[in-house]
């Protein structure tokens, strides 16, 4: 089993589409909360002027990341209607298949992909102590 994996994606919000983005974000959050129990965190952030959007995903291991991305084609297509990718970051060691897919996607969209595969420490507290 691999260690934890964090996936961060950055987007530019298309002009005049921020309200559509808000609606889509709520829809995707509900879907993922129900359908992807292995996704520990799915956190979305929008900058003050509504032009930049970032999503942070946290997974306990590479297998959970793979399950999260199963069926993601429709979510990705809907998202790319209202935003354009600016870059992706992976912290931890995803599966070879997920990494290959992300590299292909980054190349196809012309955005950077940063990968820091070695988890050397830290924790995710699911409940405050």
What are the domain boundaries of the chain? 5-116
- Cα–Cα dist 46/10, whole Å: 10
Fold of 5-116: Alpha-Beta Plaits (3.30.70)
Q: Give 4-52 pLDDT, tens digit per residue.
A: 999 999 999 999 999 999 999 999 999 999 999 999 999 999 999 999 9
* Average pLDDT value for the chain: 93
Q: What pTM was estimated for this model as a whole?
A: 0.91
Q: Is the pLDDT of residue 1 over 60?
A: no
- Cα–Cα dist 32/109, whole Å: 24
CB 91 within 8 A of CB 5: yes
């Amino acid at each position: 089993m691999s260690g934890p994996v964090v996936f961060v994606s950055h987007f530019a919000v298309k002009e005049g589409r921020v309200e559509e983005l808000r609606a889509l974000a709520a829809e995707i959050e509900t879907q993922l909360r129900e359908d992807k129990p292995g996704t520990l965190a799915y956190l979305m952030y929008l900058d003050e002027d509504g032009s930049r959007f970032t999503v942070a995903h946290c997974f306990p291991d590479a297998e959970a990341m793979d399950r999260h991305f199963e069926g993601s084609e429709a979510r990705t297509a809907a998202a790319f209607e209202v935003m354009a990718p600016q870059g992706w970051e992976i912290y931890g060691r995803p599966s070879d298949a997920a990494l290959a897919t992300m590299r292909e996607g980054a190349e196809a969209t012309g955005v950077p992909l940063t990968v820091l595969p070695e988890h050397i420490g830290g924790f995710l507290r699911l409940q405050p102590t």
